[in-house]
Amino acid sequence: MADKIRILVVDDHPMLREGVVAIVSSEPDMHVVGEASSGLEGIELFRQLGPDVTLMDLQMPGMDGVEAIERLRAEAPNARFLVLTTFAGDTQALRALRAGAAGYLLKSGLRRELIDAIRAVHSGCRAVAPAVAQEIALHAAEEPLSDREVAVLIEVANGRANKEIARALSITEDTVKSHLKSIYAKLGVDDRAHAVTVANRRGIISI
């Protein structure tokens, strides 16, 4: 096993883990050393096993993949992570990459993409799904939404009117309207429904 890439799989969906393990185990230069079903469990197994590459899901109970990556990178700066997710939006991808992930793949990707990405990440390279890379490039020059604007948009997604949003966030209705105007401009939309749709697609909010 000494010459094989040692892999830890962290995902809360058993069938997904089984599929990934089956794909990886069929490669002569790879070996799955462990499986975890949550971010916290992934951290513990990483500490015990010291894998070469960790395949990390983003949305998991208790602790998401980004936080798990941040914690482990703080302990092991040279650790290598490849995110496997359903989220193609640029915002989620940038969060993961800034946290320390070296790769970002979609679960809908082909088997060959996964194998090639594992080898790339193991060798010190980056591996980002083309569709995701395109989204990142498309929005790279745009001004991101502020934390307050995201909070307003979450309230909008929950179906709240301006007066309710103002009350929930302890701001005035005029401030809510001002935030909405800024949100529309930044997202290139002209109404609440479109703003929520675009923000959800890009991973700015989750509905």
From residue 88, how far is each of 15, 30, 34, 85, 108 by CA, in Å? 21, 26, 26, 8, 10
pLDDT for the residue numbered 177:
96
Instruction: Check if the beta carbon of residue 96 is closer than 8 Å to that of residue 50.
Output: no
Mark out the alpha helices in 26-64 (DSSP H runs). Answer: 39-49
pLDDT for the residue numbered 109:
80
Per-residue pLDDT of the chain (207 residues; tens, 9 = 90+): 668 999 999 999 999 999 999 999 999 999 999 999 999 999 999 999 999 999 999 989 889 999 999 999 999 999 999 999 988 889 999 999 999 999 999 998 878 899 999 999 999 999 999 989 999 998 888 889 999 999 999 999 999 999 999 999 999 999 999 999 999 999 999 999 999 999 998 989 987
Phi, psi of 195 (to 5 degrees): -60, -45
Instruction: Check if the beta carbon of residue 54 is closer than 8 Å to that of residue 10.
Output: yes
CATH 3.40.50.2300 residue ranges in the chain?
5-138
CATH 1.10.10.10 residue ranges in the chain?
147-202
For 138, the token pair is 């498309």
Distance between CA 101 and CA 90 in Å, rounded? 14
pLDDT for the residue numbered 1:
61
Distance between CA 49 and CA 44 in Å, rounded? 9
pLDDT for the residue numbered 138:
87
Query: What CATH number was assigned to the domain covering residues 5-138?
Result: 3.40.50.2300
- Could you say which of 3.40.50.620, 3.90.1310.10, 3.30.70.1350, 1.10.10.10 is the CATH number of the domain covering 147-202? 1.10.10.10
pLDDT for the residue numbered 207:
78
